Amino acid sequence: MIQRNNSYRLLPFKFTHIGNKELIVNEVGDYLFMPNGTVQRVISGSVNRNTEEYRDLLSKFIICDSYNDILQDVIATRIRTKKSFLDGFTSLHIFVLTLRCNQKCVYCQATSQNKDCVNKDMKIEDLNKAISLMLKSPNPHITMEFQGGESSLVPSLVEHAILETERQNKSVGKEIKYVICTNIIHFSEELLNLCEKYNVFVSTSLDGPESIHDSNRGVSGSYKHFVDSLLRIRERLGQDRISPLMTTSVLSLNYPIEIVDSYRQLSFHYIFLRPLNPYGRAKENEDWNLYFDKFLEFYKKSLDYILLLNKRGEFFVEGFTAMVMKKILTPFPIGFVDLQSPAGIINSVVVYNYDGYVYCSDESRMMAESGDFTFRLGKVSDKYEDIFYGKKAQALSRVWATEYIAGCSDCAFQQYCGADPVRNYSTQGDWYGHRPSSLFCKFHKAVFEYLFELIDRRGNEVLPIIRRWIYD
């Protein structure tokens, strides 16, 4: 240990260089921008007491006067708060009720099948067993999400799933939130009644203006059906009971402003700029390096435009930025499974597939459709403990935290990022992954650097806007 004249001690922290400054981040994600050379001076004991620099470093838990119990308890509580998403264990339970779909999306990650295909719906007995497994989760707050394929093609299964869950939950007493993921192309009255009765939230997809939306869906007329259903759903369920996600196809990359405006035109105040993921049909994308470079530019242009709208007085949120900024600016975790450590798989999300098997994430079951069952945890008839705490879950736990995997353990962005063994396996062939060649790493580092540059250069202008996104 270095003996320092002024006897302060180091607390665990990471650092990197952004522009001509050093970004220093402590163990719970508090950050400081300091002049280059600060870290060298901190560790060599050259920071003088009674300076603003000393007080900054002290208040951000980069250094301390002593490792006393009170300090330890404060930081330990902060760590526990940051990791509180682990408290209840799996909260998001995805039910793939069918693989059949009525659209032909160019980027389909689920390898959906034709709507008339047979043997691609979940069997009732498997659905009942999956519901029993879900209700064994220790989490008192459960989100039950119906996915596909296109879940609106099987309204009777959706209805059965909700009624059976309500029945089984009478003796369990969990708080259940229902979400139906649907393209709402043909959203029947029967489904609307069900959504109204059981407060089902509708999660849908909108990729931009009519030309982009229809092109991405691979079916003409999709946008018109979408708008018709949107109006019906809003009228019956309320404005805030339906929310869309946007997926950025290669075509979409050229239209950042138009896509944001298409959301505004339909009276949405929120967009989530989501890149393609390398699964299913999307995996056929030729050059992922080029795609992510272009997506980053798309993201920056869109965000810049959205910030401008907010400056002009319009409340409009970019969801991905809001989530990352919540990690940076607040002591709290976020519910975004892609950026969690330990990883979102199993800890936060699990998938019951139409074929009666349980997978550790949505992406895992998408890989299964390509014949790769690596992340299959078991069958719905298996014991809960064997699925959620079994050998595969244990093996995954050895590679699912940024705190201890190579390339992440030293990274300044560790507290904001996440580990993703499924993505590692899909793109690099092994669970552990290789950070220097990882596009997940490259992309997220670039986003974090960009957001910290924004904070540093335009903090006075953008932070009040982003704080409204986080806290409102």
Partner 1 sequence: MNSFRIIGNKKAQFNIDANMFSKSVIMKVLYWLNNDFVVQTTSHESQLLVELESNNDTDWNIMKKTISTMLNDFQMREVIEKETHDIRNILYVKAFSNIDNFTEYDTEE
Q: Which residues bind partner 1 (CB under 8 A)?
A: 1-2, 9-15, 17, 27, 39-40, 43, 67, 72-73, 75-77, 79-80, 83, 406-407, 410, 434-437
- Least separation in angstroms between CB 40 and partner 1: 6
CA–CA dist 338, 342 (Å, integer): 10
Smallest distance, Å, CB 295 to partner 1? 20
Nearer Cβ to partner 1, position 27 or 369?
Answer: 27
Task: For residues 435 and 442, give the distance between their C-alpha atoms in angstroms, rounded to a whole number.
Answer: 8
Six-digit token string for 318: 């970019």
Whose structure tokens read 């975790």? 333
Please report which residue ranges of 44-88 form alpha helices under DSSP H. 52-59, 69-82
Q: How far is the CB of 62 from partner 1 (least distance, A)?
A: 10
In whole angstroms, how close is the CB of 436 to partner 1 at the nearest point?
4
- Compute the half-sphere exposure of residue 330: CA atoms within 13 Å on the CB side of its CA: 18
Which residues are CB-neighbours of 327 under 8 A, at least 6 positions away? 29, 333, 334, 339, 415, 416
**With respect to partner 1, which residue has the nearer C-beta, 43 or 172?**
43
Residue with Cβ nearer partner 1 (72 or 220): 72
Q: Are strands 357-359 and 349-352 parallel, antiparallel or unpaired?
A: antiparallel
Helix/strand/coil for 13: strand
Measured from the CB atom, is 14 or 120 closer to partner 1? 14
Shortest spacing between CB 403 and partner 1, in angstroms: 9
Closest CA to 174 of 95, 87, 88, 237: 88
Taking the least distance from each CB to partner 1, the nearer of 67 and 315 is 67
Query: How far is the C-alpha of 129 from the C-alpha of 469, rounded, in Å?
Result: 40
| Distance of closest approach, residue 150 Cβ to partner 1, in angstroms | 40
CA angle 37, 42, 46 (to 5 degrees): 95
In terms of CB distance, is 423 or 435 closer to partner 1?
A: 435
State both tokens at 99: 């693989």
Cα separation of the two ends of the chain: 46
Cβ at position 374, least distance to partner 1 in Å: 24
> Does residue 149 have a cis bond before it (omega within 30 degrees)?
yes
Residue number with CB closer to partner 1 (14 or 213): 14
Q: Rounded to 10 degrees, what is the CA torsion of 292, 284, 217, 367?
A: -100
400 within 8 A of 342, measured Cβ to Cβ: yes
Residue 71 or residue 309: which is nearer to partner 1 going by CB?
71
Return the number of the residue (168 or 428) whose C-beta is nearest partner 1: 428
Q: Based on the number of CB atoms within 10 Å of its own CB, is 109 exposed (0-12), middle (13-18) or buried (19 or more)?
A: buried
> Tokens in use for 46?
């050259």
Closest approach of partner 1 to the CB of residue 43, in Å: 5
